[in-house]
Structure 1
Amino acid sequence: MATAGTSYRARQGDTLDALLWRDAGLGPADLPAILAANPGVAEAGPVLPIGTIVIVPAAQAAPVTATRPLIQLWD
C-alpha cells in the first residue's frame, strides 16, 4: 500500500514525537494521523529503531503557522 506524503528516517535515540517535531514541525495533535498512516510503528517501542521510516501524509506534511503582526518598539 503506497501512501503519498513525506518520509522521515529515525536516528539513534529518536522517539516518534521527537522525530516529528524536529523534522516535520508537527506536534502531539498530529500523532493519531501519523500512527494511522504507519501501521506497526507503535509496536516498535518508545524509542524507534535506527532507520525506521515514518511517513507523514500529505495533509499533515505542511503545518499551517499563524502569523502575528509585527510590533515595533517605537510605534
Structure 2
Amino acid sequence: MNGVHYVTRDGDVLDLICWRHYGRTAGIVEKVLEANYGLAALGPIYPEQVTIFLPELPKPKTKQVINIWD
C-alpha cells in the first residue's frame, strides 16, 4: 500500500493531521486508524515521535456546479 509516514510532534491530533495531509477529514480519520493498528489506544492527543502511516486514498468526487447565470 502506498502512502507516507508522519512523525508526530507533542500535542498533535489525528483529525488535524488528516486535514493538513488530505484536505478533509470525513471518512479519512477512520481509514487512517484502520491502517495504524493500536493508534486509537494512544488517545486523542499524541506525544512526540509516534509514526503514523497515511495511506494513499482516492480524491473525493467533485459535483458539477450549475450556476443559474450560465
Q: 1:25 aligns with which of 15, 23, 26?
A: 23
Cα-Cα RMSD: 2.3
User: What residue in structure 1 maps to residue 11 of structure 2?
Assistant: 13
Alignment CA distance shift 1:29-1:49 (3 Å) = same
More helix as a share of residues:
1
TM-score (norm 1): 0.67
Moved over 6 A (4+): none
The count of corresponding residues between Structure 1 and Structure 2 is 67
TM-score (norm 2): 0.70
Give a deviation string over 1:14-52, Cα, whole Å, max 9, x none.
Answer: 111111212442313211111110000000111012111
User: What residue in structure 1 maps to residue 51 of structure 2?
Assistant: 53
Aligned 8 A contact 1:11 1:51 in 2:
yes
